């Protein structure tokens, strides 16, 4: 991906907050500032990692499972994580 322009919008990648509870996906890309990205990467939200949405009521924060860890994620933060939905 080096040298390529901003890949947004990726064809099949959607923001994490559009996944319903119980749905899973693979992280395609993480947007946001350096600091926010660093914190997400540290908690295991890296491109290629599988995530499962455990709770998403359509408003308020989400709970996702990534790498055996349950992570609470504000809605705004979840919008910055693009995932490819799994069947």
Partner 1 sequence: MSVPATLRENVVLPAVQERPILVALAGQPNVGKSTLFNLLTGLHQHVGNWPGKTVERKEGYFTFNGASYRLVDLPGTYSLTANSPEELIAREFILRERPDVVVAVVDAATLERSLYLVAELLSLPAPVVVALNMMDVARQEGIQVEPEVLQAALGVPVVPMSATRGVGVQELLETVERMARADLPYAPRLPQIRPDHQEVLEVIGEQIAGYVPEPYPRDWVALKLLEGDPEITRMMRGALPPERWEEVHAVLRAHDDAQVAVASGRYEWIGRMVRAAVTRPRIGQIGLTERLDRWATHPFWGLVILAGILGVVFWLTYTMGAPLQGLLETYLVGTLADGVRGLLSGAPTWFSGILADGIIGGAGAVLTFLPILVIFFAAMAFLEDVGYMARAAYVMDGFMHLIGLHGKSFLPLFLGFGCNVPAILGTRVIESRRARLLTILLAPMVPCTARMAVIVFLAPAFFGPAAPLVAWGLVLLSLGTLALAGMALNRTLFQGRRSAFIMELPLYHLPNGRTIGLSVWQRSWAFVRKAGTVILIVSIVIWALSYLPGGDTESSYLAQLGKLLEPVGRLMGLDWRLTVALLSSFIAKENSIATLGVLFHASEEGLANLLAATYPLATALAFLVVQVLFIPCVATVAAIRQETGSWRWTVFSIGLSLLISLLAGMVTFQIAARV
Q: Give the binding site for partner 1 (CB under 8 A).
A: 1-2, 30, 32, 34-44, 46-49, 54-55, 57, 59-61, 63, 66-74, 76-77
The two beta strands, 24-30 and 50-55, are antiparallel
Q: Tell the smallest beta-carbon distance from residue 85 to partner 1 (Å).
A: 18
What are the helix and strand counts (H, E) for the chain? 2, 6
Q: Which is nearer to partner 1, 1 or 87 (CB)?
A: 1
CB of 12 to partner 1, least distance (A): 19
- Residue 8 Cβ, how far from partner 1 at the closest point, in Å? 14
C-beta atoms surrounding 38 within 10 Å: 11
**Beta partners for residue 25, in sequence order:** 51, 85
């Amino acid at each position: 991906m080096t040298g390529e322009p901003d890949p947004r919008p990726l064809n099949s990648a959607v923001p994490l907050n559009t996944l319903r509870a119980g749905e899973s996906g693979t992280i395609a890309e993480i947007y946001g500032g350096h600091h926010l990205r660093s914190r997400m990467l540290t908690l295991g939200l890296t491109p290629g990692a599988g995530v499962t949405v455990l709770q998403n009521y359509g408003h308020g924060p989400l709970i996702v499972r990534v790498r055996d860890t349950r992570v609470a994620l504000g809605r705004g933060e979840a919008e910055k994580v693009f995932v490819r939905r799994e069947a």
